[in-house]
Structure 1
Amino acid sequence: MALHNMLKQAREQAGLTLEKAAECIGISGASFSRMENGLSKVTMDRLEMLATLYDVSASALVAGSIVTRLSTIDLDRLKLVVAAVQEVVNDLGANPSPEKMALAVSELYRLEINYIVNDATAEFSPQRHLGIIEAMFTG
């Protein structure tokens, strides 16, 4: 099912009117309607806001389902992100604070979600993010 159809279904399941959902994410009802009808693109920021508003998984919406909690795919990908960050930290001999580790993991996971929006079946590849992770813990 197309993303715009999934968004409409998730909104209806959450019991929100189109106008109320539009108000919650700060856009006009007309703009929201175009998004739900597939006439305008859904930005990553809006996808994340809508997923939060509807209490669903953004990656599941992209994959064509409505999941009201983290899916196994999300959790598995998150584990891989944590392992990739930890490996770079170990290789660099860094000793980051828990806050910096949390920030790195959350940012990398956000980037990974952005990546899978374009290809929901893409496998996680730490090489895709190594430069970013290293930059977070050096300098």
Structure 2
Amino acid sequence: MSIAERLKEAREIAGLSQGQVAKRLGMHRPTISEIEAGRRKVAADELDLFAELYDVSVEWIVNGSVKDEAADARMLMAARELSKMSDQDLDRLMNMLRMLRKGEDK
């Protein structure tokens, strides 16, 4: 996966449009589009901005490597969704996960 593809994936996981990203980073939407299409290189200072906005490491953007499992894109998406849930819904989800795990043990 390329830098452009990882930036697009991170944006989508963050639930942001190209326009929203452009506005937050002080860029134009076509610039974000060009970056995600791989037609424009990303400057080092821009990498820092993207990493901060998407809550990922620059290392992940550049190399696709992560220092811990929390940086995995699926884990980030799950964490964001979990943070939006009520305590009651989290308890229900935990019970469902326990039931699923028990089913795997059979």
TM-score of the pair, normalised by structure 1 = 0.47
Q: Secondary structure at the match of 1:16?
A: coil
1:32 is aligned to 2:32: yes
Q: Which residue of 2 aligns with 1:8?
A: 8
Matching of residues 99-114 of structure 1 within 5 Å: none
How many Å separate the matches in 2 of 1:60 and 1:52?
A: 12
What's the C-alpha RMSD, in Å, of the aligned pairs?
Answer: 1.3
Give the aligned partner of residue 72 of structure 2: none
State TM-score, norm by structure 2.
Answer: 0.60
Question: How far, CA to CA, are the matches of 2:61 and 2:34 in structure 1?
Answer: 18
Q: Aligned-pair distance for 1:16?
A: 0.7
Amino acid at match of 1:22: A
Alpha-carbon distance in 2 for matches of 1:19, 1:13: 15
Q: How far off is 1:41 after superposition? A: 0.5
Aligned length: 68
CA distance in 2, matches of 1:14, 1:33: 16
SS at match of 2:39: coil
Name segments (4+ residues, structure 1) moved above 3 Å: none
Alignment of 1:38-77 (within 5 A): 38-65=38-65, 71=67
Which residue identity lines up with residue 31 of structure 2 in the other structure? S
Unpaired runs of 5+ in structure 1?
A: 73-139
Give the letter aligned to residue 57 of structure 1: S
3-state SS in 2 of match to 1:38 = coil
The amino acid that maps onto 2:51 is A
Greater RCO structure (CA 8 Å; 6+ sep): 2
Ranges in structure 2 where 5+ consecutive residues have no aligned partner: 69-106
